[in-house]
Amino acid sequence: MKEDFRTDRRAFLALAAAGGAAVALPGQTARAQAVSTSARIVIIGAGAAGTALANRLVRRLEGAQITLIDPRAEHLYQPGLSLVAAGLKPPGYVVSQTTDWLPRGVTLIPDRVAAVDPEIRTVDTEGGESLSYDYLVLAPGLVLDHDAIEGFSLDMVGRDGIGALYAGPDYAARTWEAASRFVEEGGRGLFTRPATEMKCAGAPLKHTFLIDDRLRRAGNRGAAEIVYAAPQGALFGVPIVAEKVRMLFGDRGIETRMNHTLQAIDPGRKIATFTDADGFAREEEYDYLHVIPPQRAPQFMFDSGLAWADRWTDQGWAEVDPATLRHARYPEIWAVGDVAGVPKGKTAASVKWQVPVVEDHLVATIQGGEGTETYNGYTSCPLITRIGRAMLIEFDYQNNLTPSFPGIIAPLEELWISWLMKEIALKATYNAMLRGDA
């Protein structure tokens, strides 16, 4: 047989050496020496922020007494709820156990916080336990105020054309039950968002885009009317993104009702009542209604004097420095995640950037120094515009776009690669973050 392409052992060895070098090269960063301390650190909340921080702190601190307080046994991967509510993932996709993610050497108290006294530095639980702390991290998340929508209750979700995907994995699945009937039958779909600060301001838009796409795929878009109603004057907080969404809504034939705040629903008549900018009541009919309720901090935040006194007074977010996330009046307290009173960033992406900042300042304080890391308001929203495409929007406090891959992944283009990131890489990155690895 004719053979004309010769290889030899020397070429093989050269190749193997090159391959070995490529594997060995990437950053072998030595971990900083652990700091010895007997500090008592209490973290309220074992969600994304509390868990990620706990995992990082146990690596940085030797001998610290770290206690997390969280009543919820289940950990929710909340960025997945939009996918569940569009029939793309099962509810189990977002659920794991809180204890799956916690490191050894920390204590979890499965209870709800009743009160914090920042003067004498104690946290009381509803079960009657009282903990003293040297350092406190507020990461309890937020509360969905469903009662604020008159006539609405969670048991309606999935029936009579009502959806509410924020309420959890089962409600997200029931939201898809209601939405899929709308997809099959057509009619009038009403998609809302609240007037308060909220988790992932892109999610109401994603749900609208996904149900629009579902209708198109079912060949039923012609039989449906889609209306997006929001209390704000713009479709997104970042002006350049709001303009892009306005154009996409125009392209998809999605109507808008700006300055419309959902106040009440009448499920019998299928009427939703909004107040407009002038305070007048406006009634809108619906066959499918997506409800996102007002969102606030847990009650103890209002009672403890830790919230802003002059901003978001009805919402109770922690009064922190936007760059360091340190409390403005109690330097031994930080807030991270949804409860932080900063202009943007109630997302997992924000948490990913906030946690190392709080870690840095907390550890530096224990060492008697000052931290240097700052948070610039970074947040990220893979804004799904249809099944298979998304816009990878990243921005900061100043409404600047801050693309991670400038020149490669355009933030305002509907791209498949951005969808791939949401579908494949996001949960993996989130889990790595929880473990303190990303």
Partner 1 sequence: MKDLTFQTMIAVFEEIFGRGLFWAMVAAAFLVTAAYLYVLVRDRTMGMRQFLIAQLFMPVGAVLAVWFVMAMTDSHLADIGGPVDVIVLLGIAAVGAVGGAILVYTAERLLFRRKIEG
Site for partner 1 in 368-397 (CB under 8 A): 378, 386-389
Near partner 1 by CB under 8 A: residue from 3, 119, 278, 310: 3
Reference 371, options 325, 329, 330, 435; nearest CA is 325
Confirm or reject binding of residue 6 to partner 1 (CB under 8 A): yes
Give residue 194's identity as a one-letter amino acid code. P
**Is residue 351 classed exposed, middle or buried when 0-12, 13-18 and 19+ CB atoms within 10 A define those classes?**
buried
Near partner 1 by CB under 8 A: residue from 166, 300, 317, 353: 353
Near partner 1 by CB under 8 A: residue from 223, 247, 328, 438: 438
Confirm or reject binding of residue 428 to partner 1 (CB under 8 A): yes
Residue 8 Cβ vs partner 1, minimum distance, rounded to whole Å: 6
Confirm or reject binding of residue 4 to partner 1 (CB under 8 A): yes
Residue pair 69/43 in contact by the 8 Å Cβ criterion = yes
Reference 224, options 174, 179, 158, 274; nearest CA is 179
Confirm or reject binding of residue 423 to partner 1 (CB under 8 A): yes
Site string for partner 1, 10-29 (x = CB under 8 A): --x--xx---------xx-x
Q: Specify the residue, 12 or 223, whose C-beta has the smaller distance to partner 1.
A: 12
Residue 9 Cβ vs partner 1, minimum distance, rounded to whole Å: 6
CA dihedral 115, 119, 121, 124 (to 10 degrees): -20
Residue labelled with tokens 């515009």? 385
The stretch near partner 1 (CB under 8 A) out of 4-12, 55-63, 135-143, 320-328 is 4-12
Confirm or reject binding of residue 356 to partner 1 (CB under 8 A): yes
Q: Which residues pair with 391 in a beta bridge?
A: 383
Q: Specify the residue, 8 or 310, whose C-beta has the smaller distance to partner 1.
A: 8
Residue labelled with tokens 């809302």? 192
Residue 425 Cβ vs partner 1, minimum distance, rounded to whole Å: 6
Residue pair 302/312 in contact by the 8 Å Cβ criterion = no
Distance CA(347)–CA(337), nearest Å, equals 7
Residue pair 151/187 in contact by the 8 Å Cβ criterion = no
Site for partner 1 in 77-106 (CB under 8 A): 88
Residue pair 378/394 in contact by the 8 Å Cβ criterion = yes
Residue labelled with tokens 């012609």? 222
**Residues binding partner 1 (CB under 8 A):** 1-9, 12, 15-16, 26-27, 29, 88, 352-353, 356, 378, 386-389, 404, 408-410, 413-417, 419-420, 423-425, 427-429, 431-432, 435, 437-438
